Chains A and B, each alone.
Chain A
């Protein structure tokens, strides 16, 4: 049952082979059996899940089922969900029961999807390894000594371990694509503005974007159909016609021009990752694709630009956690300022504090032009690089990360070493482009390797088409770890 695609699960539900309650129960059983080791979920609430599953069955019995009614999914613990504990991986929100739902959660509920639980993540989505969660590190299902990637490590691990058929996630600097790569699953970060940020706890508002993680490109396309759409409550939500992201899945790739940015295949890229990507490109060529070399000359400065813009926006966004309206409040304090300072010192972990402090500094009096404004100018240079590159090709193929998953604890005490791992993913967020990650092989130590496809604005259907065609002739995406 758990190896079925979303389409197969939906067909089985329609045919009455099993009910939404039976399907959810199967996944809950797996989640309960393996979560103790993997720690992919922060919250599992069986009663709530079964309530939703019964409602889905009732909807179907009444003849009102949609294409995904009764399909179980896991939500990243960053999306507010009414009545569910929503922690964002932080002690600050340890006992926060969301009083309203994110747009994405509402859309999923309306489609009849059944919530399996809330997945673990780096605190406030700040991290590339999931070790920054207050609720403990997530283990990579392929190798329990390895990190699952971050920040959506729980969502990626849950899908990889078949504890959920599909999951929601978010990506500010690679947080969908990198954990998808590390866990051998598929994920897509849409064009900025395609998925509403309403109710998605903010990290860096000009970069944050929600998207799906699934076993395959087809599964991701189906969930993206539900997640995407205009929402007037998000000022940056784009007012566009509703798209069917599955519409081009079966288009042949003959003549597809794939651009390889030379800066992404230079020094620093691990040889095993490079050869897995070479092999994948050879498959794409067999499918009729052509390859051209392109250049993204400002790639290196994506890291400093991101690590100015994201902390600056985070320092502003996270000022709302003051112990007054919601979240943790220090038990003892001597006055208002002391209450703020102690509440925030206790409620935030160190990576979050570092980013708040970095952001506070770069925005402080006298430094704004040198840091934030300069970073935004560099951001435009990066976006222009991508436009020049994408004028020469249909999609860009690139590594997701310089290496496969590293060991838990390996880069923990050196934030800068961790930041450097984001080199291939940050540019896409800064430019606001869509990016997809799909599995293309394994390192010798058995850890998965992913490849990134980057398209121009609103090219999600094309990226999903390319990955789907690749997945018709390869089986990396069907491999599952032994638990």
Chain B
């Protein structure tokens, strides 16, 4: 299947990436070429095959329920674009 311009705009909105009309058009062509490449895979018979998420059959480890992290709020917030009193500032979302 191939993506329409509206599909591209919808995907870009889902991905939270602004695209101009020109960019959407160029992206449409390229994404359709990429999907064309991917299409070949869909014809492979995989009935009865278990999907493989990871190379090693790892299970999540459990650890002791004790504090291991130290408080490094200041260091981690030092790289924030906008902050105040230890809080991250974002545009107002509730009027």
Q: Is the CB of A376 within 8 A of B41?
A: no
Which residues of chain A from 65 to 105 have a CB within 8 Å of any chain B CB? 96-97, 99-100
Complex: how many Å from CA A137 to CA B94? 44
Residues of B within 8 A of A362 (CB): 38
Whether A118 is near chain B, meaning CB under 8 Å from some CB there, is: no
B49 to chain A, nearest CB (A): 4
Whether A322 is near chain B, meaning CB under 8 Å from some CB there, is: yes
Given known contacts A344-B18, A431-B55, A329 and B81 CB-to-CB distance under 8 angstroms = yes
Q: Is the CB of B52 within 8 A of A344?
A: no
Whether A348 is near chain B, meaning CB under 8 Å from some CB there, is: yes
Q: Which single member of B44, B56, B88 contacts A381 (CB below 8 Å)?
A: B44
Q: Is the CB of B91 within 8 A of A308?
A: no
Q: Is the CB of B41 within 8 A of A357?
A: no
Contact-size category for B: 35 or more
Whether B90 is near chain A, meaning CB under 8 Å from some CB there, is: yes
Whether A339 is near chain B, meaning CB under 8 Å from some CB there, is: yes
Residues of B within 8 A of A324 (CB): 80-81, 88, 90
The residue of chain A having its C-beta at the shortest distance from the C-beta of B50 within the complex is A380
Complex: how many Å from CA A337 to CA B52? 35
Bitwise, A463-480 to B at CB < 8 A (1) or not (0) is: 000000000000000000
Whether A323 is near chain B, meaning CB under 8 Å from some CB there, is: yes
Bitwise, A328-368 to B at CB < 8 A (1) or not (0) is: 11000111111111101100100001101110111010000
Bitwise, A216-237 to B at CB < 8 A (1) or not (0) is: 0000000000000000100110
Bitwise, B72-90 to A at CB < 8 A (1) or not (0) is: 1001101111100000101
Q: Is the CB of B38 within 8 A of A307?
A: yes
Whether B4 is near chain A, meaning CB under 8 Å from some CB there, is: no
Given known contacts A99-B72, A377-B46, A432-B56, A358 and B31 CB-to-CB distance under 8 angstroms = yes
B23 to chain A, nearest CB (A): 9
Q: Is the CB of B16 within 8 A of A337?
A: yes
Q: Is the CB of A374 within 8 A of B90?
A: no
Whether A301 is near chain B, meaning CB under 8 Å from some CB there, is: yes
Bitwise, B54-66 to A at CB < 8 A (1) or not (0) is: 1110101101000
The residue of chain A having its C-beta at the shortest distance from the C-beta of B76 within the complex is A99
Residues of B within 8 A of A322 (CB): 16
Given known contacts A232-B63, A415-B30, A326 and B80 CB-to-CB distance under 8 angstroms = yes
Residues of A within 8 A of B15 (CB): 315, 344, 356-357, 360
A189 to chain B, nearest CB (A): 12
Residues of A within 8 A of B50 (CB): 377, 380
Q: Which single member of A305, A329, A335 contacts B93 (CB below 8 Å)?
A: A335
Q: Is the CB of A301 within 8 A of B11?
A: no
A382 to chain B, nearest CB (A): 9
Q: Is the CB of A357 within 8 A of B79?
A: no
Q: Is the CB of B41 within 8 A of A301?
A: yes
A402 to chain B, nearest CB (A): 16
Q: Is the CB of A193 within 8 A of B38?
A: no
Complex: how many Å from CA A432 to CA B57? 11
Residues of A within 8 A of B25 (CB): none
Given known contacts A325-B88, A377-B52, A380-B49, A308 and B82 CB-to-CB distance under 8 angstroms = no
A220 to chain B, nearest CB (A): 21
Residues of B within 8 A of A301 (CB): 40-41, 44
Residues of B within 8 A of A339 (CB): 90-91
The residue of chain A having its C-beta at the shortest distance from the C-beta of B81 within the complex is A329
Residues of A within 8 A of B14 (CB): 360, 364
Whether B39 is near chain A, meaning CB under 8 Å from some CB there, is: yes
Q: Which single member of B3, B51, B78 contacts A373 (CB below 8 Å)?
A: B51
Residues of A within 8 A of B78 (CB): 97, 99
Residues of A within 8 A of B34 (CB): 307, 354, 358, 415-416, 419
Residues of B within 8 A of A353 (CB): 17, 27
Whether A203 is near chain B, meaning CB under 8 Å from some CB there, is: no
Residues of B within 8 A of A304 (CB): 37-41
The 10 closest A-B pairs by CB, nearest first: A432-B55, A376-B51, A304-B41, A377-B46, A329-B81, A345-B18, A380-B52, A341-B18, A99-B75, A360-B15
7 A-B pairs (CB sep. < 8 Å)? A99-B78, A324-B90, A335-B93, A377-B49, A416-B34, A430-B55, A432-B55
